Chain A
Amino acid sequence: MDARPAPLPDEVSAPYWEAARDGVLVVQTCRSCGAGQFPPDLTCHRCLDEQLDFEAVSGVGQVYSYAIYTRSFDEAFDVPYALALVDLADRPEVRLMTNIVGTPLDAITVGMTVEVTFEQRGAWRLPQFRPAAGAA
């Protein structure tokens, strides 16, 4: 059994996790100024507007940085695994935390192009990232 934790969505984050469950990566976006932000929040951090929508994005991004867990600090997670920060290509103001999957860990580089993939976790699915198809 997968002992890794599942997200427990709240009122603000529910649309994000519901879209992910349906295999779509969305970004909370301000209806007024168009800024995207992560994690989702009650107000737009740029213009303070409270009218916020969730918009689907391409799911392509770039690895901003990554770290490899080679020893376990949480027994639910099998090592080694890569924890990463990914900047979204079509919403560069948005940086997500994620895992880089589907690649040998020593092939991961800062700046590599990655694309979203979804991983079942309890009743939900997590956005994860793998090397983009056709990317060098």
Chain B
Amino acid sequence: MTSLSRPVAIVGVGYSELSRRSRPDPRALTLTACRTALADAGLAPRDVDAIVQFTHASDSTEAPITAYVQRALGIDNLSFFADLARTGPSGVGPPMTAVMAVASGVCETALAYRTLPQAEGNNGGLRESPAEIGGPTQFTAVYGHAAGILANYALKKRRRMHEFGHTAQEYGYIAINARRWAALNERAVMRQPLTMDDYLSARTIVDPLVLLDCDYPVNGSCAVLVTTAERARDLRHRPVLVDAMSWGTGRGSDFVFGADLLYGGSIPCAENLWRQSRFTPADLDVLGLYDGFTHLPISWIEALGICGFGEFADWVDGGRVIGPGGTLPLNTSGGMLAEGRIQGIGHVAETTEQLRGSCGARQVSGASVAVVAGGGSNDSGAMTLYVE
């Protein structure tokens, strides 16, 4: 018998303001999110003994590292910390890592955050290539694979439409759904409704990817607080328990050259998740699926077995299934497409609020089981959450 396993719960969530306002201090955003999560749980900084965060660039000077947050919150020592960088299921990675740390017994209460200055991941600017390109991008950048993430999702969208004989309309259901939910979320930055005509006439970014396929960059931070299920019982909110988790990469793990361009690691991730879970897709009440691009919730819904491969367009019933009042609401905050790009940790926070019943106007009645997924290419990660 090992001590390295015990039940874990999410007990607090916090956000900074999400905005396009120019250059708020990322440290201030982070501390606001972290302090709000602590207050939400009814915990003090001295109760925290672990901090985890994620940035895409290991040398990012924008988001503060865990040591800064520790100092600024006056925490004497950390039993666990990790500054995750470069790859992983983005903002879903820190909460998942925090859950593992607490479950392992290394620490008791872990703070997970993701802070995004608007500039990070903003691919709109014109860049200039060096004269020669070596390393992994010598096989891509020489072909003008500029702002490559945008081209990657254009390539996925074109291939999906070809493979299943669908039109761009199925992607439109995701874009429209984000705005429908965002209209109910005062924190969201894009709350104007969208029509299918709006979607289908949106400006091309890299054909066939259009502007409304892409999430909306904001300055913001979100934090999630994780502790033992035992401790969670004494805190402010109904504990949201972690049922199961998995990461997934797929074979030939690579965003472009990996074996499965359409689903990446989301299929093996979902398979491993359901192997461990006490639930099945039929038990799900609400979905929090990474939506940096409209392709991703569609591929996650199919990878998770919620509908068959290529069947999303039929399953979603014109968007009714996933919208307000639908049978399986998706991204009830508006997600990254409409609440703003905080890269997945917002899905963890929103799903937590749904399960404990604190979502106000957008509360899904009786929600008790949910799945949250981050990334969706070779950077997949997913967790199932529930309340007793």
Instruction: Enumerate chain A interface residues (CB-CB to B < 8 A).
Output: 3-10, 13, 38-39, 45, 64-77, 81, 83, 85, 95-99, 110-111, 121-122, 126
Contacts and interface: CB of A to CB of B under 8 A. Distances in A.
Interface in B301-327: none
B131 interface: yes
B204 interface: yes
7 contacts: A8-B134, A65-B155, A66-B155, A71-B204, A73-B146, A83-B145, A99-B144
B158 A66 contact: yes
A75 B128 contact: yes
B225 to A, nearest CB: 39
A83 B159 CA distance: 13
Contact of B159 (A3, A65, A81): A65
A6 B142 contact: yes
Contact of A7 (B126, B127, B138): B138
A73 B142 contact: no
Contacts of A72: 126, 146
A127 B338 CA distance: 41
Interface stretch (B205-213, B283-291, B361-369): B205-213
B1 to A, nearest CB: 36
Contact of B142 (A7, A64, A66): A7
A97 B130 CA distance: 19
Given A67-B206, A68-B207, A83-B145, A5 B257 contact: no
A70 B154 contact: no
A8 B132 CA distance: 5
Interface in B135-162: 135-136, 138-147, 150-151, 154-156, 158-159, 162
A69 B133 contact: no
A121 B257 contact: no
Chain B interface SS verdict (over half):
mixed
Nearest to A77: B144
A65 B142 contact: no
B3 interface: no
Interface of B: 123, 125-136, 138-147, 150-151, 154-156, 158-159, 162, 204-209, 252, 256-257, 261
A37 to B, nearest CB: 8
Contacts of B126: 72-75
A134 B233 CA distance: 72
B136 A39 contact: yes
A122 B144 contact: no
Given A7-B142, A72-B126, 7 more contacts: A5-B131, A39-B138, A45-B252, A65-B156, A65-B261, A75-B126, A110-B159
Given A97-B256, A122-B131, A122-B132, A67 B158 contact: yes
Contacts of A3: 128-129, 131
Contacts of B128: 3, 74-76
A126 B133 CA distance: 13
A67 B151 contact: yes
Nearest to B159: A65
Contacts of B138: 7-10, 13, 39
Contacts of B142: 4-7, 121, 126
B32 to A, nearest CB: 33
Contacts of B125: 73
A111 B147 CA distance: 25
A99 B147 CA distance: 16
Given A4-B142, A73-B126, A110-B162, A67 B132 contact: no
Contacts of A6: 131-133, 142
A8 B135 CA distance: 8
Nearest to A111: B162
4 tightest A-B CB contacts, nearest first? A8-B134, A67-B154, A74-B146, A73-B146
A111 to B, nearest CB: 7
Contact of B144 (A39, A45, A65, A74): A74
Nearest to B203: A71
B261 A85 contact: yes
Contact of A69 (B127, B136, B162, B206): B206
A126 B123 contact: no
B158 A7 contact: no
Contacts of B133: 5-8
